[in-house]
A = this chain, B = another copy of it.
Amino acid sequence: MNWSKHHRKRRGYHHGNLREALIEAALELIAAKGAAGFTFAEAARSAGVSPGAPYRHFRDRDALIADVARRGFEHFAEDLARAWNDGQPTPHTALQNLGAAYLAFAKDEPAYYTAMFESQLPARADPELVQASDRAFAVLRQAAETLIATLPPRQRPPAMMVSLHIWSLAHGIASLFGRGDEARRALPMAPEELLEAGILVYLQGLDIATD
């Protein structure tokens, strides 16, 4: 049969870069039709190879998604770290930038975000996935620590708790309203404003200076 309908750089019998091609296909398919609407067979077709070929590179469909999620977390960690920018110019401004970067990632990279948070992966299956996720969370954790360090010691809440609050709020907003699906509930304000205001109120509740 002719499997080279979608050939582009196909150099003959061997694809040459099938692994990457499959990941790209997965991103497109997930973005277009959600994590559920992604099939191994369609990814293979999109890469111009036979249905069995992907099994040379991934144990199964979940392994591919896990790899996509891992890469997603790496990009995510990078974006967050760049936005945080070591707490410059001020911890509060930097945290707001971090929040904006969180939502921007969810909006601009819906396929990654879906694979990372909504693909119901066999959980903590892949240790590299866990590590990548940890690195992303570490940025939030660091931000929380920097922020509470501006408080007198007796008044400091646990940094872990603060980072979990920020993360949960950002993830909740991204989940419920964050992607351009227009599938979600209509909002009286942009998700970015909603998060910014939420963080502002939260920090005021901790008595952290926000001006």
A121–chain B nearest beta-carbon distance, Å: 8
Which stretch (A3-11, A14-22, A44-52, A187-195) binds chain B? A187-195
Copies of this chain in its oligomeric complex:
2
Interface status of A1 (Cβ within 8 A of chain B): no
A-B contacts besides A34-B120, A124-B183, A165-B201, 13 pairs, CB < 8 Å: A35-B36, A36-B36, A117-B175, A117-B176, A121-B183, A123-B181, A123-B182, A123-B183, A123-B184, A161-B188, A164-B194, A169-B172, A201-B205
A152-210 contacts to B, CB under 8 A, are 157-158, 160-161, 164-165, 167-173, 175-177, 181-185, 187-189, 194, 197-198, 200-206
The distance in angstroms between the C-alpha atoms of A206 and B181, with both chains bound, is: 31
A-B contact pairs, 11 of them (CB 8 A): A36-B120, A121-B183, A123-B181, A123-B182, A124-B183, A161-B197, A165-B198, A168-B176, A168-B177, A171-B176, A198-B202
